[in-house]
Amino acid sequence: MFSGIVAATGCIEQTDPLGDGLRLTIDVGGLDLDDVAIGDSIANSGVCLTVIERAGKRVKFDVSRETLDCTTGLDRVGNEVNLEKALALSDRLGGHLVTGHVDGIGEVVKFVPVAESFELLIRAPEAIAGYIARKGSITVNGVSLTVNHVSGRDFSTNLIPHTVEITNLKNLRAGSKVNLEIDLIARYVERMMAWRDGENQRPS
């Protein structure tokens, strides 16, 4: 589990074919690796990946074709990625509970400065748009954000300059693709409602 609070940004230095997937070599920049071991999880722009090798500030991850097909930004050398280590039980939860399992790829409609902040307008895929609610939580490229407005498939959020500066969201522009993860609570509510409705339809 993660919190959506980015600890550092890294850069994809190398991508090597691995079956139908890829092996990524990422320079993790300022991410503290003192407590990271082989087999630990690190979120890369919202995608939970397992550390398979590390040397200095370079960490390697294997990414399956399935993961590559349902995410964006992990297959190109030079891409900047948001990094967050998995939560420890004693950690402060500054964002919201994030699994690191991307639900869909969104498209940036608008990313513009507004007064002292930035407005980010994103179009979500039809399949997950119904899970996004005003004042609810959403994860964009691994960053925990609060939804301000929703209209159909489009939702907007305001970013403070600090968030823009320390994450790869600063690179966004109209047409950019982003990894989206809906609020974990929304998934369970939908499942419970579906189960309840199914139970109610069963003959006694």
**Rounded average pLDDT per 10-residue block, the chain, 204 residues:** 96 97 98 96 98 97 97 98 91 86 97 96 96 95 97 97 97 98 84 77 50
Inter-residue contact 84 to 142 (CB < 8 Å): yes
Tell me the pairing of strands 149-151 and 154-159. antiparallel
pLDDT score for 199: 60
Structural domains of the chain ordered from first start: 8-85 (2.40.30.20), 104-190 (2.40.30.20)
**Which alpha helices (DSSP H) does the chain contain, by range?**
65-69, 126-129, 161-166, 184-201
In this prediction the pTM is 0.92
pLDDT score for 204: 46
Map tokens 């609070």 to a residue.
5
The sheet with strand 149-151 has its strands ordered as 143-146, 137-140, 177-182, 104-114, 117-123, 154-159, 149-151
